[in-house]
Structure 1
Amino acid sequence: MILNLAVTPGEVTTSLIILVMVFVFVRALRSKGRKQLSPPGPWSFPIIGNLLQLGEHPYLTLMEMRKKYGDVFLLKLGMVPVLVVNGMEMVKQVLLKDGEHFAGRPNMYTFSFLAEGKSLSFSVNYGESWKLHKKIASKALRTLSNAEAKSSTCSCLLEEHVTEEVSELVTVFVELSSKNGGFDPRNAVTCAVANVVCALCFGKRYDHSDEEFLKIVKTNDDLLKASSAANPADFIPCLRYLPLQIINAPREFYRALNGFIALHVQDHLATYDKDHIRDITDALINVCHNKYAATKTDTLNDSEIISTVNDLFGAGFETVSTCLYWSFLYLIHYPEIQAKIQGEIDGNIGLKPPRFEDRKILPYTEAFISEVFRHASFLPFTIPHCTTADTTLNGYFIPRKTCTFINMYQVNHDETIWDNPSLFRPDRFLNENRELNKSLVEKVLIFGMGIRKCLGEDVARNEIFIFITAVLQQLKLKKCPRAKLDLTPTYGGSVSLRCPSGSQTPGLK
């Protein structure tokens, strides 16, 4: 018997198709059990995404979206997918437990020039070089916070600078009140805070009318305003090539500020004396020239020092001044709270100039500051993060290089953490013994947490404490007749006050 084993071309084709279908089916069955879901989120428009849905107060809009989509959801801002994280547990997961996976920065247009000198705050690249940079900056900051002061009455150079400036601020307030009866304190506060930053960074303070000083204060303010408002080029990349003021203004202001700081750093490099550390710039140079100068890779170059000083200058300026604006408004709006703080000051330190160590014996004042941070939440989001690797969050698959927004405002107003979060109530931070509840204070998010947490938190808290206690020790803040108080915020990258003329007007006690 002879068998015919010939196979037609049609049969071969059919067999191949069947084999491919079986292979695909088997692969689908195997992957079905381990396939990870993408986060839920709202439907978006082409090109603009969900930008039009955010409204005037994005943090509130995202809180509403949370009710539908949960603590972790995805939306599109322009053409950029953005992961939004709410809820204390999810925030801790992102910033602490999986901090390495979320430690990057997105490749946004604004960050591209803010990170030109390897900025700590805005550097897109996260790795060993960034960690060393942060370690050096932290050491330099601690040096100034713990260094021997020139005056025996102060515990450190930082305290000396703050004490000097708040004394000058009170004098300015008295003069303005005597001359005008009522006044807006914002310019005076801005100059005082800026002088503390200049003294810390450059070992130099300026007269409030100094033209160079006022110019750099205005440049910094312009940069903050220009870069805090949402830049469309961050989310619609093709726009970055257009010659539009809203897109290019931040870069121009940044270069002007960077030029000012570069001149001071170069002067410090030329006059540096390891036995006489004048300020943070000297401290950075000192750290680089000593312990970390063993190899060229273990130090910072001149441009990195300039960028680090720039980071500290901007951070020390914005957070402190904004908190003080809000604090004065709350103190005017709630005179009974102002009276309680003044009573605590009178009973514990009297007329002695306040010092950092007095934070331990003024718990209600500390509670007030924490409540300002929580209730105002003037930094509603952290600086955007970015995933450094494929990861998972709350059961969802998050690809590498996913832009991530942390909604600190939501955490600070979460009803599962705070009783009646819409109420301004400093007492919530005190226990039954009228002592500060530190575990509750730690739940307030304003400086972030984890790897990318703001380096200057302790500096800012100490500085704000001295400004508030020294002012209230000598003055009573009150509203001018016929002025209206408006606590409605306006949103940029931070939440600012919408202040009618004369709405924040201290008067003499």
Structure 2
Amino acid sequence: MLFPISISVTELLLASVIFCLVFWVIKASRPRVPKGLKSPPEPWGWPLLGHVLTLGKNPHLVLTKMSQRYGDVLQIHIGSTPVLVLSGLDTIRQALVRQGDDFKGRPNLYSFTLITGGQSMSFSPDSGPVWAARRRLAQNGLKSFSIASDPASSSSCYLEKHVSKEAEALISRLQELMAGPGRFDPYRYVMVSVANVICAICFGQLYDHNHQELLSIVNLSDSFTEVVGSGNPADFIPILRYLPNSSLNAFKDLNEKFYNFLQKTVKEHYKTFEKVQAGER
């Protein structure tokens, strides 16, 4: 005679977590070094966490002590992710200069896949032909702004024109603040001016300093820098991607907002281009 088995949601969730942990431990314990090669020396680390607790609040000091004991090339683990640590001027020059092609590119972190749909030039692990072509395109665009000039302007190039115009607006704004409150933090106003110059180059439009769209870009940029600078544990402990994570959700949300803004701007440019083309016919 069979009896119905009643399993609560909590028990099912606990079983799933245990299964994922066991699978993760087995996967992390497998050697990742190709056959015939030696793994760099590695200090002892905690299971699952690696050397996260060992690094503490001053990782540069801890890594310095590790290099004195294990050499200029060593390996640590952040969660289940192996990290190569290079110390010493000669070692770093060897890696970044003499073997630059081997060390170029960025790590394939989970959070990088959330930035502009995984197609970011700055945060993509890809360093192949497609990335190189995009880099050349960006360089040529910036070069054009620094060479080409507007015949109706006294500036030597479009870049100088945008920077000069924004500098005048910034000085005027600071003078207003000095005449009013008399004291203020200039950081926010300088950030808005820098963002406005970038918008002029990328989107062909200068915004008023009180324009909500410009202010939203600056706010997103500040939030992005704060989150990226503090690191994302889900990059190194994969199971955290599937558990409730408020910081990761906030990171996804701000990247989605910025990506939507870019898509909206691109579509507007396409519409303008089509109108110009239609007018020329």
TM over 0.5: yes
Over 3 Å counting, the alpha-carbon distance change for 1:180 and 1:109 in structure 2 is: same
- CA drift at 1:198: 0.9
SS in 2 for 1:165: helix
SS in 1 for 2:201: helix
C-alpha contact 2:50 2:80 (8 A) present in aligned 1: yes
Report what 1:223 is aligned to.
224
* 2:194 matches 1:193: yes
Structure 1 residues not aligned, in runs of 5+: 1-34, 276-509
**Greater RCO, 1 or 2 (C-alpha within 8 Å, sep 6+):** 1
Alignment partners' CA distance in 1, 2:223 and 2:145: 28
What is the 5 A alignment of 1:295-334?
Answer: none
Report what 1:97 is aligned to.
98
C-alpha contact 1:115 1:122 (8 A) present in aligned 2: no
SS in 1 for 2:75: strand
Cα RMSD (Å): 2.3
* 2:164 matches 1:163: yes
Alignment partners' CA distance in 1, 2:235 and 2:219: 24
Over 3 Å counting, the alpha-carbon distance change for 1:153 and 1:53 in structure 2 is: farther
Higher mean C-alpha deviation, range 257-266 or range 176-185: 176-185
Report what 1:237 is aligned to.
238
Alignment partners' CA distance in 1, 2:98 and 2:105: 15
Report what 2:247 is aligned to.
246
SS in 2 for 1:137: helix
Over 3 Å counting, the alpha-carbon distance change for 1:206 and 1:64 in structure 2 is: farther
What is the 5 A alignment of 1:258-269?
Answer: 258-269=259-270
**Scaled by the length of structure 2, what TM-score is found?**
0.77
* 2:60 matches 1:54: no
Alignment partners' CA distance in 2, 1:258 and 1:61: 38
Report what 2:79 is aligned to.
78
Over 3 Å counting, the alpha-carbon distance change for 1:39 and 1:55 in structure 2 is: same
Larger Rg: 1
Superimposed CA distance per residue, residues 221-257 of structure 1 (whole angstroms, 9 cap, x where no aligned partner): 2122222221010000111111211122212111101
* Structure (1/2) with the larger helix percentage: 2
C-alpha contact 1:149 1:156 (8 A) present in aligned 2: yes
Alignment partners' CA distance in 1, 2:154 and 2:64: 47
C-alpha contact 2:116 2:259 (8 A) present in aligned 1: no
Report what 2:138 is aligned to.
137
Report what 1:209 is aligned to.
210
- CA drift at 1:152: 4.3
SS in 2 for 1:221: helix
Over 3 Å counting, the alpha-carbon distance change for 1:174 and 1:129 in structure 2 is: same
C-alpha contact 2:153 2:161 (8 A) present in aligned 1: no
Alignment partners' CA distance in 1, 2:255 and 2:196: 19
SS in 1 for 2:82: strand
Alignment partners' CA distance in 1, 2:125 and 2:162: 33
C-alpha contact 2:76 2:84 (8 A) present in aligned 1: yes
Alignment partners' CA distance in 2, 1:177 and 1:270: 42
* 2:149 matches 1:148: yes
Percent sequence identity over aligned pairs: 40
- CA drift at 1:60: 4.4
C-alpha contact 1:161 1:196 (8 A) present in aligned 2: yes
* 2:87 matches 1:68: no
Alignment partners' CA distance in 2, 1:170 and 1:67: 51
Alignment partners' CA distance in 2, 1:221 and 1:151: 36
Over 3 Å counting, the alpha-carbon distance change for 1:239 and 1:117 in structure 2 is: closer
Alignment partners' CA distance in 2, 1:56 and 1:254: 28
SS in 2 for 1:112: helix
* 2:100 matches 1:106: no
SS in 1 for 2:180: helix
Alignment partners' CA distance in 1, 2:66 and 2:150: 51
Alignment partners' CA distance in 1, 2:215 and 2:230: 23
How many residue pairs get aligned? The number is 240
Alignment partners' CA distance in 2, 1:151 and 1:243: 56
Structure 2 counterpart of 1:228, one-letter code: G
Alignment partners' CA distance in 2, 1:117 and 1:234: 14
Alignment partners' CA distance in 2, 1:132 and 1:244: 36
C-alpha contact 2:112 2:118 (8 A) present in aligned 1: no
Superimposed CA distance per residue, residues 162-216 of structure 1 (whole angstroms, 9 cap, x where no aligned partner): 1222222222222222322321111111111111111111111222222222122
Alignment partners' CA distance in 2, 1:61 and 1:115: 35
Alignment partners' CA distance in 1, 2:190 and 2:71: 40
**Scaled by the length of structure 1, what TM-score is found?**
0.44
Alignment partners' CA distance in 2, 1:36 and 1:147: 52
Superimposed CA distance per residue, residues 49-76 of structure 1 (whole angstroms, 9 cap, x where no aligned partner): 1112333343444344333333322111
Structure 2 residues not aligned, in runs of 5+: 1-35, 277-281
SS in 2 for 1:76: strand
C-alpha contact 2:108 2:124 (8 A) present in aligned 1: no
Alignment partners' CA distance in 2, 1:150 and 1:233: 52
